[in-house]
Amino acid sequence: MPIIVSPNLPVNAVRVSLHPPHFSLPLYGGKVSAAQSRWASAAQDYMDDDFGVLGGRLDLNVRFVTNPPSTFVMPVDGDSMIKAGLFPGTIAIIDKNADAKSGSIVVVWYGDKYIVKRLYIKGNIVKLRSEHPKIREYPPILFKGDDELVIWGVVKHGINTY
């Protein structure tokens, strides 16, 4: 089963800057709980260096773009990957040089468009699966034998706006 990495650039993909300006945000310690509410300790309100950034600041380029020459961003369209955190309008950060492994979220050329799915590989069988609560409405795409799968890149992050 041939798996090909595509050199083509989708029309709505944007390459990240190879020399972005440095812009960092203050990084505060403690965590934001998504569990039931409780009073936070005043000691939690301090600058944190957990991300390895000097002075408790986070540079989003350093955090999200590990390989600038092969990193692109594309908006997500559709709802088939919402359980993976990719909603309509999510900005997907994609690395074309990252290794696509079983379990990776990949962008592939399928039919006449680019799609984003979870990749599963078992022997000679490759599946692309959606991640949606109504999974039966989104059947897997199966590749086997001499079928050709064209992988464009691996989704490394998703940025959502609320």
* Active site positions, annotated: 80, 117
User: 68 φ, ψ to 5°?
Assistant: -50, -40
> Read out DSSP for 35-90?
SS--PPPGGG-SB--TTS-GGGEEEHHHHH-S-GGGEEEEE--SSTTGGGT--TT-
Distance CA(110)–CA(100), nearest Å, equals 16
H or E element at residue 98? none
Q: What DSSP character marks residue 157?
A: E
**What's the helix, strand, coil split of the chain in %, to 5?**
10, 35, 50
